Amino acid sequence: MTMGPLKVVVDGSLNTRTAWCWDPYPGLDPAHPHACGMESVPIEDLRGLMQRARDAGIGAAIHAIGDRANTGCSTPSRPWG
């Protein structure tokens, strides 16, 4: 068995309104807990996951579709290893 790269899915997709965004999706009540999509893996946990993959020699990728997910993943203070 061979293993390919690790893919960490931070959020969902735009079509299902689960991509983690800064603004609520049109037509959703802003008070709804997932009006802005969902964070499936906390940004705080990403650094550790990426470092573990690197240390184990596993290539890794981050799935981040929404603008809020991308902001969290691309902040310069978060080197992924």
Burial 50-81 (b: 16+ CB within 10 A, else e): beebeeeeeebebbbbbebbbebbeeeeeeee
Predicted TM-score (pTM) of this structure: 0.83
Domain assignment of residue 80, yes or no = no
User: How many percent of the chain have pLDDT more than 70?
Assistant: 91
Domain assignment of residue 64, yes or no = yes
Domain assignment of residue 1, yes or no = no
Domain assignment of residue 39, yes or no = yes
For residue 60, the enclosing domain spans 6-74
pLDDT bin (cut points 50, 70, 90) of residue 65 is: very high
Domain count, the chain: 1
